[in-house]
Amino acid sequence: GAGVSQSPSNKVTEKGKDVELRCDPISGHTALYWYRQSLGQGLEFLIYFQGNSAPDKSGLPSDRFSAERTGGSVSTLTIQRTQQEDSAVYLCASSLFLRQTVQRVQPYEQYFGPGTRLTVT
Amino acid sequence: QKEVEQNSGPLSVPEGAIASLNCTYSDRGSQSFFWYRQYSGKSPELIMFIYSNGDKEDGRFTAQLNKASQYVSLLIRDSQPSDSATYLCAVSVLVNFGNEKLTFGTGTRLTIIP
């Protein structure tokens, strides 16, 4: 079946411009994550959407970064007034959530998209 | 203290030997533990997950979980050059009542020496 898709695969932009990165999760996956990975570095958590709950924005590095998820499916990560330090691979991942009890939901394994390589010149 | 800690490596292991990758986590309430493999220039891919204390085996891979020690490990038997990659540990972390999200370690770079 179709996996997580991201577009564009590569984006080169000038410093100060705005960019939008898109993520199409696996159909039926209620959880969606955005990460950033600089060359040779680990995954940096940015934002997390789970169903209709308010997103966890605790990883966004500045107010230039924002994300939305429309209709519980497609998500767009927007970076305003890009800076050179924003250059990185932006990865999106989606997962199912498995409800274990009435009060608790359990995360399931994440499936990653191919990423968008952003270069700010 | 980081929520999930891994030795960044690089870890070099001779071909055919056992590679041992370790991960510690800080949240005692964590319930789910995952190992991902990431080849250079590629996205992470899931290798194994474990929810219960003890060992879980899948082919050449064995995940070990010790919740009392807050420790999870991945053993790779009969290491192959194709196992050379960065291995990421991911742990569920409670973010608010009833909800959890996965938190990743920074990864351990493994090199299998022919």
A104, A110, A114 ranked by CB distance to B102: nearest = A110
pLDDT for A100: 52
A77 vs A38, higher pLDDT: A77
CB contact under 8 A, A104 and B98: yes
Taking the CA of residue A14 and the nearest CA in chain B, the distance in Å comes to 23
CB-based contacts of B94, cutoff 8 Å, min separation 6: B27, B29, B30, B100
Burial profile A13-48: b = 16 or more Cβ within 10 angstroms, e = fewer: beeeeebebebbbbeebbbbbbbbbeeeebbbbbbb
For the segment B3-18, the average pLDDT, to the nearest whole number, is 92
B32, B46, B88 ranked by CB distance to A107: nearest = B32
Which amino acid appears at position A80 of this protein? Q
Taking the CA of residue A82 and the nearest CA in chain B, the distance in Å comes to 23
CB contact under 8 A, A111 and B88: no
pLDDT for B31: 82
- C-alpha triplet B51, B103, A20: angle, nearest 5°: 135
CB contact under 8 A, B44 and A56: no
- C-alpha triplet A8, A6, A4: angle, nearest 5°: 165
Q: How far is CA B45 from the centre of its chain?
A: 12
B113 vs B8, higher pLDDT: B113
Residues of B in contact with A43 (CB under 8 A): 44, 88, 104, 106-107
A33, A107, A110 ranked by CB distance to B100: nearest = A107
Q: Can you read off the two tokens belonging to residue B62?
A: 């064995």
B88, B92, B98 ranked by CB distance to A43: nearest = B88
Percent of chain A topping pLDDT 70? 91
Is the torsion defined by CA of B26, B103, B90, A119 positive or negative? negative
Q: Which of the 8 DSSP states describes residue A60?
A: -
CB contact under 8 A, A42 and B34: no
Q: pLDDT band for A30, please (50, 70, 90 cuts).
A: confident
Residue tagged 């994440």 (tokens): A110
Percent of chain B topping pLDDT 90? 72
Asked if A112 reaches chain B (Cβ–Cβ under 8 Å), the answer is: yes
Lowest mean pLDDT segment, chosen from A33-37, A110-114, B92-96: B92-96
Taking the CA of residue A2 and the nearest CA in chain B, the distance in Å comes to 15
Q: pLDDT band for A40, please (50, 70, 90 cuts).
A: confident
CB contact under 8 A, A45 and B104: yes
Residues of A in contact with B100 (CB under 8 A): 104-107
Residues of B in contact with A103 (CB under 8 A): 97-98
